A = this chain, B = another copy of it.
Amino acid sequence: MSNLITYGAPTPDLSRLDRFLAVRALTERLAAPLSPEDQTVQSMPDASPAKWHLAHTTWFFETFVLRTHSPSYRAFDPAYEYLFNSYYEAVGPRHPRPQRGMITRPGVEEILAYRRQVTEAMVGLIDRGNDQCAALVELGLHHEQQHQELLLMDIKHLLSLNPLKPVYAPRRDGGDDETPGGPLSWVEFDSGLTSIGHDSKDFAFDNEGPRHRVWIEPFTLATRLVTCAEYAAFIEEDGYRRPEFWLSAGWDCASQRGWEAPLYWQRDGGRWSVFTLGGLQPLRDDEPVCHVSGYEAAAFAKWAGKRLPRESEWEVAAADVPLTGNMLDSGRLHPAPASGRGLRQMIGDVWEWTASPYVAYPGYREPPGAIGEYNGKFMANQMVLRGGCAATPADHIRTTYRNFFPLDARWMFGGIRLAEDLR
């Protein structure tokens, strides 16, 4: 068992300090199976090198917390301010994103030393109980958890480009207790005026609020995710060759990029295999389809005679769902077949594409300062995805959580749940 990563189960009653240390340590455990070579390369402009994630999450604490609230703190290396800024224009100039993979130095060892210095300084600060920056520390931890998932997405993409199809971590299946979810069934929801969005005192990102009223028309929601077998039927029925199912931009995108199946699927003779963080695996029929773009999700739904849920519908349906599921702490690192009864797989497994573009909620205001760049400026040409995935830290998800990606993105763990109007 010593070569298995422990991904850390969330314990809500951790002290602030312990939680800080747990999040920091998990990032390093996620990078541990990767060689310095693996941690250095950027596989595409949208992805970042693993060691960049290690450094950037550290830069966040150094820049936004230590520099302001810890007067005696001395920067590890002044050049890092430039090198590891992601997109905060207010902080100053930054290294261009598509060039992140060119930064072979500092190497992994130096970045781990950087992490140690910042973690130690942060421990001192948290010990001193500086309440002023507690919110910033909390934000920094959620930021780091986002990058934990990004690190896994990015490294999966990189390894997939290697003809040797390397294994990041041996696959862990759920074992005998998994029984396929059976045929698709539906839950109905009534119309009415309701509210969505975050409003408690617990942490949430700015884009989850303010809580506000929305009118919901009656709808039904599938009780489980679309499976690989169902998606394969779409492929068999020429789903990728029939424009009538596709958004016009989706049709162009799929044609230009030669898409014929989800990302990471490959046909070996008459059978499908799928590249996973556990290496190349035979496709399992009852697993949720994953790594589809929003265009493919929409085309599948139209082929199926259904539609994607709106984010308000999803949130209404999720209101009573427990915050548990197949997430990072399961160590599976891959979506799992549905099991049990009722509305399942809402949390974990795959991020569920919605029909809702990512826009500000009524009354939304960006926070002041550099932190204001966190979410608002990305509200263009992206769609909302909901529910977390098998690579999301378990204590990082909320039913109000709004993830967002462009319609053509496939490298995150994105999947499909169907919905339909009720008349």
Contacts and interface: CB of A to CB of B under 8 A. Distances in A.
Nearest to A192: B213
Contact of A217 (B82, B363, B381, B421): B363
* Main secondary structure on A side of the interface with B: mixed
Contacts of A36: 35-37, 40, 107
Contacts of A108: 37
A199 B278 CA distance: 54
A421 B105 contact: no
A374 B38 CA distance: 32
Given A37-B36, A217-B212, A356-B359, A247 B379 contact: yes
B37 A40 contact: yes
A190 interface: no
A133 to B, nearest CB: 23
Contacts of A377: 246-248, 251
A193 interface: yes
A40 B379 CA distance: 36
Contact of A37 (B104, B166, B244, B359): B104
Identical chains bound together, number: 4
Interface residues of A, number: 63
B250 A164 contact: no
A162 B103 contact: yes
Interface in A333-379: 355-357, 359-360, 362-363, 377-379
Contacts of A51: 37
A163 B37 contact: no
A102 B362 contact: no
Interface string A311-323: 0000000000000
Contacts of A217: 212-213, 362-363
A380 B363 contact: no
Interface of A: 35-41, 43, 51, 79, 82-83, 87, 89-90, 95, 99, 101-108, 158-159, 161-164, 166, 193, 212-215, 217, 243-244, 246-251, 295, 298, 310, 355-357, 359-360, 362-363, 377-381, 407, 421
